[in-house]
Amino acid sequence: CEYYSLEGLSLLLETLSEVQKRLNPKISLTTIVLTMFDSRTRLASDVADNVKKHFPRELIDIPIPRAVRVSEAPSYGQTVMTYDAASPGAIAYLSVAREIANRGGAPINNLTPKLTNESAS
């Protein structure tokens, strides 16, 4: 959760607006998750407060902490869940997944992943 996170969110919203105009008027932003959250810094709290102020319905109020295990997992070709399921980052991701499931978020219409032989195996 840093300043550039807000910049990225702004760019995402611009892109989403273009997609709505050109391809899919029904697409919308339904969920925001704060990642790389460092509760020790004022900046992270300020960014979280700003997102919460502007996106109260979309924000999942379970931040993913900045954590070594979350950063290490991809370098070993693993998810944090397979690398260290007991780590604070993995526990937070699991909590976020449960919250998304509890919200009953419907899949976005007209966007389905195309599986290749590599991704299907």
Q: For 94-118, what is each residue's pLDDT tens digit?
A: 999 999 988 885 444 443 334 334 4
* pLDDT tens digits along 12-69: 999 999 999 999 999 999 999 999 999 999 999 999 999 999 999 999 999 999 999 9
Find all residues with CB under 8 Å of 38, minimum gap 6, and list them. 1, 44, 65, 66
Q: Taking the CB of residue 65, how many other CB atoms lie within 10 A of it?
A: 19
Query: Is the pTM above the cut of 0.75?
Result: yes
Radius of gyration of the chain, Cα coordinates, nearest whole angstrom: 16
Separation between Cα atoms, residue 43 and residue 59, nearest integer Å: 18
Instruction: Tell me the domains of the chain and their CATH numbers.
Output: 3-104 (3.40.50.300)
